[in-house]
């Protein structure tokens, strides 16, 4: 091959590599070509709940029964590992939400109205009426700075969230609000922290990408 031919071949390879690289950085690559876009937004609210790990005895809480107290009052943070989310379509089939998980969220940091947006997600176009959220680890920090990892029962904690049906299509982003009910989500009983999550769903919103 002469020098000009070699130079032309080199240019083709460089341009081809640049094309592939730009395609990998495209936001569209985060969602499959046959999927619609879904945005899950976490917030906190009041609710009920209670699994466990040994913990050092903190300062007694003046609120609630001494044998089963609101463990949230003893914590400064609670990082919950969200490992998978599934959505049920109207045929009763649970579909895995295409999302970059696991991700850890300090749910106590959302008190006071703060929201956390989970990574961009994709779902096949359909109507969905239930979300299943699986969490596999909780790491809490007590008021005295002690870090405790709470191991889940079995494969993880599962929260089944009935929702008003939401539609996923290819032309818009559907926002689904999930509210984590904090009241009684953490219990301190028998010298251990107990955790059982409960989530409820806010009305889904359909709209164009910003």
- Tell me the C-alpha distance between 79 and 207, whole Å: 31
Model pTM score: 0.70
Helix, strand, coil percentages (3-state) for the chain, rounded to 5, are 15, 50, 35
- Tell me the C-alpha distance between 35 and 28, whole Å: 10
Render 159-197 in DSSP notation, one character per residue: EEEEEEEEEE-TTSEEEEEEEEE-TTTEEEETTEEEE--
138 within a domain of the structure (yes/no): yes
Report pLDDT for 48.
36
Report pLDDT for 208.
41
4 within a domain of the structure (yes/no): no
27 within a domain of the structure (yes/no): no
74 within a domain of the structure (yes/no): yes
Give 10-residue mean pLDDT values along the chain (210 residues): 44 33 32 79 68 36 42 84 96 97 94 92 96 94 90 87 91 92 82 85 54
**Cis peptide upstream of residue 102 (ω within 30 degrees of 0):** yes
Q: Are 38 and 169 in contact (CB under 8 A)?
A: no
- Tell me the C-alpha distance between 52 and 186, whole Å: 10
101 exposure class (CB count in 10 Å sphere: 0-12, 13-18, 19+) = middle
Phi and psi, residue 120, nearest 5°: -50, 140
Q: How many domains does the chain have?
A: 1
Can you tell me which residue has the tokens 């609000």? 177
Report pLDDT for 62.
32
109 within a domain of the structure (yes/no): yes
Report pLDDT for 7.
41
- Tell me the C-alpha distance between 200 and 53, whole Å: 26
24 within a domain of the structure (yes/no): no
Residue 135: closest CA among 97, 85, 72, 78: 85
103 within a domain of the structure (yes/no): yes
11 within a domain of the structure (yes/no): no
- Tell me the C-alpha distance between 4 and 11, whole Å: 11
Domain region containing 89 = 36-207
């Amino acid at each position: 091959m002469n020098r000009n031919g070699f130079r032309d071949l080199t240019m083709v390879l460089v341009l081809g590599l640049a094309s592939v690289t730009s395609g990998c950085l495209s936001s569209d690559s985060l969602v499959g070509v046959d999927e619609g876009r879904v945005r899950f937004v976490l917030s906190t609210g009041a609710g009920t709940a209670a699994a466990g790990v040994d913990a050092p005895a903190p300062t007694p809480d003046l609120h609630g029964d001494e044998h089963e107290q609101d463990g949230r009052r003893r914590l400064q943070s609670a990082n919950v590992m969200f490992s998978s989310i599934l959505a049920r379509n109207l045929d009763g089939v649970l579909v895995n939400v295409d999302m970059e998980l696991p991700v850890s969220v300090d749910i106590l940091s959302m008190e006071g109205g703060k929201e956390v947006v989970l990574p961009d997600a994709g779902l096949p176009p359909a109507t969905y009426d239930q979300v299943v959220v699986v969490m596999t680890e909780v790491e809490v920090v007590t008021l005295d700075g002690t870090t405790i990892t709470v191991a889940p029962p079995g494969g993880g904690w599962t929260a089944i969230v009935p929702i008003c049906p939401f539609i996923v299509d290819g032309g818009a982003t559907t926002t689904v609000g999930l509210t984590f009910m904090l009241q009684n989500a953490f219990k301190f009983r028998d010298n251990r922290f107990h955790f059982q999550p409960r989530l409820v769903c806010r009305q889904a919103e359909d709209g164009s990408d910003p």
